[in-house]
Amino acid sequence: GQQLNQSPQSMFIQEGEDVSMNCTSSSIFNTWLWYKQDPGEGPVLLIALYKAGELTSNGRLTAQFGITRKDSFLNISASIPSDVGIYFCAGLSSGGSNYKLTFGKGTLLTVNP
The residue from 13, 24, 48, 54 that contacts other proteins (CB under 8 A) is 48
How many residues bind other proteins (CB under 8 A)? The answer is 24
Q: Are 38 and 46 in contact, with CB atoms under 8 Å apart?
A: no
What's the residue count for the chain?
113
We find the least distance from the C-beta atom of residue 77 to other proteins, in angstroms, to be 23
The DSSP bridge partners found for residue 111 are: 13
Helix or strand holding residue 44 (H, E): strand 44-49
Q: Specify whether the CB–CB gap between 53 and 6 falls below 8 A.
A: no
- Interactions with other proteins, residue window 2-31 (CB under 8 A): 4, 6, 31
Residue whose CB is less far from other proteins, 85 or 104: 104
**Residue 50 touching other proteins (CB under 8 A):** yes
